[in-house]
Amino acid sequence: MTHLKDLGERSIATMAQVFLATWTVGDMAGAKAAAVAAVAAGLAVVKGFLAKRFGDPNSASLMR
């Protein structure tokens, strides 16, 4: 369960950061910024599951 909490926190943080960066710096509409953020969060989830296999099994980090 620790891994899922860690992964959820990282994914939500990634989504918020990418959305805010795209929305404030870029010249994109809100819907496009949200789509970019959702893709980034999805990639963070994939990375988190790969990290569980290759890194610390109790964390979404690749570090051991």
User: Per-residue pLDDT averaged across 29-41, rounded?
Assistant: 81
Is pLDDT of 5 > 70? yes
Provide the mean pLDDT of the chain.
81
Domain boundaries, the chain: 2-54
Measured CA to CA, the distance from residue 1 to residue 27 in angstroms comes to 39
> Using N-to-C axis directions, what is the helix angle for 30-54 and 2-25, rounded to 10°?
150
pTM to 2 decimal places: 0.66
SS3 state of residue 12: helix
| pLDDT tens digit sequence for 38-57 | 888 888 888 888 888 888 77
